[in-house]
């Protein structure tokens, strides 16, 4: 249906310093978002995600670098002249107008006739799966319906880029999950480039083609697909922020072709050394809870450590076991409930193992040993 | 309402609640309703020498009201007062709208406080004195004329106070706050994102105001216009101090009538002015499609 061909967005060395502020909200941002891509900026609140969105939409101009949309420098071009449409966090629908008037607003500003606007509103309501509500007031709609109207209003001006500012955060969990699929489908159906910002990693991981993870200081830590981000975090921040992870204080002892052995409160652990840390350096060993299992025999290529069982939390399909080895770090292990109900007793000692290739040794800003 | 007395007596005791409700009732009836009733009564009686009051000639009549239609001079001034008050209201709206918008949606921090102080401080001074100040500015030997003469812009002093101009100017200045604050209140409650959303969807500045800000502010505009119109229509100080013979105001006729002891005529004209103001209120509510409840907000 590709009726609104998306456009590339190039964010080149962009930094933004607000007037009267001591440090930049964002700095050194470099992303090339492809036409039609669903790209998410994921980061904790206050990391400058919204600033990026406002820069792309034209409410702000960057103090450093430049932003190109479809190869064209956007500096000095106001939000009403850019091929972008923004979906606000609170949606910002116009309460005094009907649904059709809301959706037709952008076209009205471009001088389209009433008939044209009504036709477009009908089509778009069809697209967002909400036909027949043209004459309702927006306040008479439910949260999810308002969501769809906001998206329809944004799409009505046939933007190349749709900018979404955490629009799902006000919805309840079930509706949110449903809308994730919906948004993804609208993105693929229309071919419009989507830029989505969120602090909710579940949202970012499920919807996005690619994700840019941002740290609190307004820089991008890593840009990657969801699975790559989860399995191959490049920095300690990403490993810690995306998904549940065990974070174990470690000091590098020896290094050898891409791997390193580190000393931890659980003893010596061997893992991948993607940052090429050198011996003596302080770092963290990151191990996902789901890659840890009770050690069997003949597992000499794995890390095997002896721990004490502190707690067992039964969650139905999964069981999370909390372990420690007398040191300050605890280790979470998450296993499938295979129905045998053979869980270790609390305070018993067990050997657990995890693959060396599943252990990543990472350091990074804000990740020194306190 | 039916819970008012029990609630009051719970908090203040029987005696306390009687004092409170009693004083409110006195204020309402004694200070507001009763004087108005007396005025209405006066307005329907003929103007008679003292010895004939209460005599056979003292009957209810519409004479005092009919004068307004028969006396050409009074009628012209009445119509001019309405027209000029509308002009003051429109001018005040045009002047105050950008101020209110700037205060509500643009200004931050110190700048906001400075503008607010700048708006409010003149109101610490009596209205009469503020209008006197304009007299000093606009007089033949006033500040403005001296400035123009010194700059050789004018060779002779300009009579700024001829015609209506000075009176309207004085009134707009005197009633700015009554227009700014209702507008500001209404604009303050407008979600900034709505403005941004409209802008993002392609609306120009003008279109944003036409389609988003003004529709949202209707109750505020109505309140501001009502207040300014009523103050202007009933104003006495500005026409008295800044006016010329050609800028006679209806309130001045009322004043003169009372001064000449013709209370009956004065009361009738005062009633006409009151009814005019009420009519203006309802016209405003109709035009802006708001109800009294929204305005009370």
pLDDT in tens, B131-161: 888 888 888 888 888 888 888 887 888 888 7
Predicted local distance difference test score (pLDDT) of residue A228: 94
Residues in chain B: 297
The residues near B216 (Cβ < 8 Å, ≥ 6 apart) are A96, B186, B187, B189, B190, B194
Residue B211 domain boundaries: 67-295
Q: Is residue B17 part of a domain?
A: no
- Nearest by CB to A80, from B191, B202, B215: name it: B202
- Report the SS3 class of residue A345: coil
B198 interfaces chain A, CB cutoff of 8 Å = yes
Give the number of domains in chain B: 1
Per-residue pLDDT tens for B268-287? 999 999 999 999 989 998 88
Q: Is residue B13 part of a domain?
A: no
Q: Is residue B45 part of a domain?
A: no
CATH code, domain with B87: 1.10.3720.10
State yes or no: pLDDT of B163 exceeds 90.
no
Q: What order do you get walking across the sheet with A72-73 strand by strand?
A: A26-33, A9-16, A64-69, A72-73
Beta-sheet strands, E only, within chain B: none
A96 interfaces chain B, CB cutoff of 8 Å = yes
- Nearest by CB to B193, from A79, A84, A92: name it: A92
At A2, is the pLDDT very low, low, confident or very high (cuts 50, 70, 90)? very low
B216 interfaces chain A, CB cutoff of 8 Å = yes
Residue B75 is classified by DSSP as H
Question: Could you tell me the pTM of the whole model?
Answer: 0.81
Q: Is residue B158 part of a domain?
A: yes
Closest CA–CA distance from residue B15 to any residue of chain A (Å): 48
A146/A93 Cα distance (integer angstroms): 8
A192/A158 Cα distance (integer angstroms): 9
The answer to whether the CB of B273 falls within 8 A of the CB of B234 is yes
Nearest chain B alpha carbon to A165: B193
At A1, is the pLDDT very low, low, confident or very high (cuts 50, 70, 90)? very low
Distance in Å from the first CA to the final CA of chain A:
55
A311 interfaces chain B, CB cutoff of 8 Å = no
A57: which chain B residues are within 8 Å (Cβ-Cβ)?
Answer: 200
State yes or no: pLDDT of A325 exceeds 90.
no
- Nearest by CB to A92, from B191, B207, B216: name it: B191
Contact A80 B191 (CB under 8 A): no
Predicted local distance difference test score (pLDDT) of residue B81: 92
Question: Which tops the pLDDT comparison, A305 or B246?
Answer: A305
At B51, is the pLDDT very low, low, confident or very high (cuts 50, 70, 90)? confident
B197: which chain A residues are within 8 Å (Cβ-Cβ)?
Answer: 86, 88, 92-94
Contact A92 B212 (CB under 8 A): no
B110 interfaces chain A, CB cutoff of 8 Å = no
B211: which chain A residues are within 8 Å (Cβ-Cβ)?
Answer: 94, 105, 108
Nearest to B280 by CA among B243, B220, B231: B231
B205/B207 Cα distance (integer angstroms): 5
Q: Of A57, A77, A83, A86, which to mutate for an interface test with B (greatest number of B Cβ within 10 Å)?
A: A86
Mean pLDDT of chain A: 89
B177/B98 Cα distance (integer angstroms): 13
Per-residue pLDDT tens for B74-124? 899 999 999 999 999 999 999 999 999 999 999 888 999 999 999 999 888
Q: Is residue B90 part of a domain?
A: yes
B261/B254 Cα distance (integer angstroms): 11
At B295, is the pLDDT very low, low, confident or very high (cuts 50, 70, 90)? low
Q: Is residue B258 part of a domain?
A: yes
Q: Is residue B28 part of a domain?
A: no
Predicted local distance difference test score (pLDDT) of residue B98: 96
Q: Is residue B85 part of a domain?
A: yes
The residues near B192 (Cβ < 8 Å, ≥ 6 apart) are B105
Per-residue pLDDT tens for B172-215? 998 999 999 999 999 999 999 999 999 999 999 999 999 999 99
Per-residue pLDDT tens for A34-87? 999 999 999 998 899 999 999 999 999 999 999 999 999 999 999 999 999 999
Closest CA–CA distance from residue A29 to any residue of chain B (Å): 23
CB within 8 Å of chain B, chain A residues 106-135? 106, 108-110
The answer to whether the CB of A105 falls within 8 A of the CB of B211 is yes
- Report the SS3 class of residue A74: coil
The answer to whether the CB of B187 falls within 8 A of the CB of B223 is no
Mean pLDDT of chain B: 88
Residue A351 is classified by DSSP as E
Q: Of A104, A109, A151, A165, which to mutate for an interface test with B (greatest number of B Cβ within 10 Å)?
A: A109
Least trusted range by pLDDT, from A4-8, B222-226, B276-280 = A4-8
């Amino acid at each position: 249906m590709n009726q609104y061909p998306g456009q590339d967005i190039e964010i080149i060395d962009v930094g933004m310093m607000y007037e009267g502020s001591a440090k930049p909200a964002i700095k050194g941002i470099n992303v090339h978002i492809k036409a039609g891509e669903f790209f998410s900026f994921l980061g904790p609140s206050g990391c400058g995600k919204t600033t990026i969105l406002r820069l792309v939409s034209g409410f702000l101009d960057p103090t450093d670098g430049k932003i190109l949309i479809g190869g064209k420098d956007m500096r000095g071009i106001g939000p009403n002249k850019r091929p972008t449409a923004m979906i606000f966090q609170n949606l910002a629908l116009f309460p005094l107008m009907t649904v059709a008037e809301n959706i037709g607003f952008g076209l009205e500003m471009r001088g389209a006739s009433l008939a044209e606007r009504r036709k477009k509103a009908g089509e778009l309501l069809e697209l967002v799966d909400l036909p027949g509500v043209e004459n309702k007031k927006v306040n008479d709609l439910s949260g999810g319906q308002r969501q769809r109207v906001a998206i329809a209003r944004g799409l009505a001006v046939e933007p190349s880029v749709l900018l979404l500012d955490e629009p799902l955060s006000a919805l309840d969990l079930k509706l949110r999950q449903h809308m994730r699929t919906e948004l993804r489908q609208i993105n693929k159906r229309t071919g419009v480039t989507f830029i989505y910002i969120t602090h909710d990693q579940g949202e970012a991981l499920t919807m996005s083609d690619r994700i840019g993870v941002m740290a609190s200081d307004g820089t991008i830590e890593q840009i990657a697909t969801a699975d790559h981000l989860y399995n191959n975090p490049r920095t300690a921040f990403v490993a810690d922020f995306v998904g549940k992870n065990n974070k174990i204080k470690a000091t590098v002892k020896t290094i050898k072709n891409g791997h390193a052995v580190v000393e931890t409160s659980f003893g010596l652990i061997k893992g991948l050394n993607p940052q090429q840390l050198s011996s003596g350096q302080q770092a963290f060993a990151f191990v996902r809870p789901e890659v840890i299992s009770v050690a069997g025999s003949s597992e000499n290529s794995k890390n095997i450590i002896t721990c004490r069982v502190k707690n067992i939390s039964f969650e139905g399909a999964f069981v999370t076991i909390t372990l420690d080895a007398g040191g300050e770090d605890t280790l979470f292990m998450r296993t499938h409930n295979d129905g045998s109900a053979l869980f270790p007793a609390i305070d018993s000692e067990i050997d657990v193992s995890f693959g060396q290739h599943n252990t990543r040794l990472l350091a990074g800003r804000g990740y020194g040993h306190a | 309402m039916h819970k008012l007395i029990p609630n009051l007596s719970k908090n203040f005791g029987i005696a306390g609640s009687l004092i409170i409700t009693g004083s409110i009732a006195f204020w309402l009836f004694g200070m507001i309703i009763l004087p108005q009733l007396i005025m209405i009564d006066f307005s329907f009686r003929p103007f008679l020498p003292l010895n004939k009051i209460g005599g056979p000639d003292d009957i209810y009549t519409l004479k005092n009201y009919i004068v307004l239609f028969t006396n050409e001079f009074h009628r012209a001034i009445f119509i001019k007062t309405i027209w000029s008050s509308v002009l003051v209201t429109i001018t005040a709206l045009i002047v105050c709208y950008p101020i209110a918008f700037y205060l509500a949606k643009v200004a931050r921090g110190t700048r906001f406080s400075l503008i607010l102080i700048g708006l409010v401080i003149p109101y610490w001074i009596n209205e009469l004195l503020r209008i006197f100040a304009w007299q000093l500015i606009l007089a033949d030997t006033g500040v403005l004329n001296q400035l123009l003469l010194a700059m050789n812009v004018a060779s002779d002093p300009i009579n700024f106070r001829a015609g209506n101009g000075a009176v309207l100017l004085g009134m707009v200045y005197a009633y700015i706050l009554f227009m700014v604050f209702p507008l500001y209140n209404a604009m303050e409650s407008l979600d900034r994102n709505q403005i941004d959303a409209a802008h993002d969807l392609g609306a120009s500045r003008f279109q944003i105001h036409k389609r988003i800000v003004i529709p949202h502010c209707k109750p505020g505009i109505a309140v501001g216009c009502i207040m300014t119109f009523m103050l202007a229509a009933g104003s006495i100080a500005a026409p008295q101090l800044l006016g010329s013979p050609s800028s006679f105001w209806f309130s001045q006729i009322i004043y003169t009538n009372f001064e000449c002891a013709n209370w009956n005529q004065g009361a009738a004209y005062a009633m006409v002015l009151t009814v005019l103001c009420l009519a203006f209120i309802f016209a405003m509510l109709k035009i802006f499609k708001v109800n009294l409840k929204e305005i009370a907000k």
